[in-house]
Chains A and B, each alone.
Chain A
Amino acid sequence: NAGVMQNPRHLVRRRGQEARLRCSPMKGHSHVYWYRQLPEEGLKFMVYLQKENIIDESGMPKERFSAEFPKEGPSILRIQQVVRGDSAAYFCASSPTVPGITYEQYFGPGTRLTVT
């Protein structure tokens, strides 16, 4: 029973390049969340998506960042023209298709982005 999968696990980009982070939710889950964690800091919510729909992107920076969750394939977090301040761990979490009351989220291993 595979958990949430993220790739790549480590990504190095030079300033100005694009970073693409991928997340495959747990089987049966169609809700995906992206979080960013800076070194020694807490998790910051970025965006909440369902298949083909962005539900809440209140945590996304207004520029350079975008996210999608297509009908087929993984969710993608895209960062254009990366800067050093984008260096962080990016975590994806998924929750059950029928959230009911609990909406528990299960996290993937994360992608560590380093901008040089």
Chain B
Amino acid sequence: QKEVEQNSGPLSVPEGAIASLNCTYSDRGSQSFFWYRQYSGKSPELIMFIYSNGDKEDGRFTAQLNKASQYVSLLIRDSQPSDSATYLCAVIDTNAGKSTFGDGTTLTVKP
């Protein structure tokens, strides 16, 4: 079992819809959770981080964390074609500094 698992995708949604990206992790010691966006041929760009159970909203993005279920998700509202990219979930054990990335979910937003 991978330490961080994401929906393999690809995920395709129409413009204006809500895109839902999911991530599960196996290490209960993980304390910080991050979502990165990576365009093809580019480096990962930090979108959001969350470390408390519940929801965290930033513009069109909402991160949700459920530590009991070891589950973190990213919702993108009013999806735009410019949101088309690969989204990486990252999990960090802040005590050790160890970071683990999922393999990513590729999102395509169709006009």
Interface residues on B, range: 20 to 34
Q: Can you give 30 A-B contacts (C-beta < 8 A)?
A: A33-B99, A41-B103, A42-B101, A42-B104, A43-B88, A44-B101, A45-B98, A45-B101, A48-B97, A48-B98, A55-B97, A56-B97, A56-B98, A91-B43, A91-B44, A93-B44, A101-B31, A101-B94, A102-B32, A102-B49, A102-B51, A103-B97, A103-B99, A104-B34, A105-B46, A107-B43, A107-B44, A107-B45, A107-B46, A109-B43
- How distant is the Cα of A45 from the Cα of B90 in the complex, in angstroms? 11
Main secondary structure of the interface of B (DSSP, over half): strand
Query: Please, what's the 1-or-0 string for B23-41, where 1 marks a CB less than 8 Å from any CB in chain A?
Result: 0000000011010100000
- How distant is the Cα of A106 from the Cα of B2 in the complex, in angstroms? 24
- Does the CB pair A101–B51 fall under 8 Å? yes
A31 touching B101 in the complex, CB below 8 Å, given contacts A103-B32, A110-B43: no
Among B34, B43, B44, B96, residue most surrounded by chain A Cβ atoms (within 10 Å): B43
A16 within 8 A of B: no
Interface residues on A, range: 20 to 34
For the complex with contacts A42-B101, A107-B46, 5 further pairs of A-B residues with Cβ separation under 8 Å are: A43-B101, A48-B97, A102-B49, A102-B94, A105-B99
Query: Please, what's the 1-or-0 string for B68-97, where 1 marks a CB less than 8 Å from any CB in chain A?
Result: 000000000000000000001010101011
- Does the CB pair B96–A103 fall under 8 Å? no
- How distant is the Cα of A48 from the Cα of B99 in the complex, in angstroms? 9
Query: How far does the Cβ of A22 sit from chain B's closest Cβ, in whole Å?
Result: 15
A56 touching B96 in the complex, CB below 8 Å, given contacts A102-B51, A104-B49: yes
- How distant is the Cα of A108 from the Cα of B96 in the complex, in angstroms? 22
Q: Which residues of B contact A48 (CB under 8 A)?
A: 97-99
Q: Which residues of B contact A41 (CB under 8 A)?
A: 103
A61 within 8 A of B: no
Q: Which B residue's beta carbon lies closest to that of A107?
A: B43
- How distant is the Cα of A45 from the Cα of B104 in the complex, in angstroms? 14
Among A91, A99, A102, residue most surrounded by chain B Cβ atoms (within 10 Å): A102
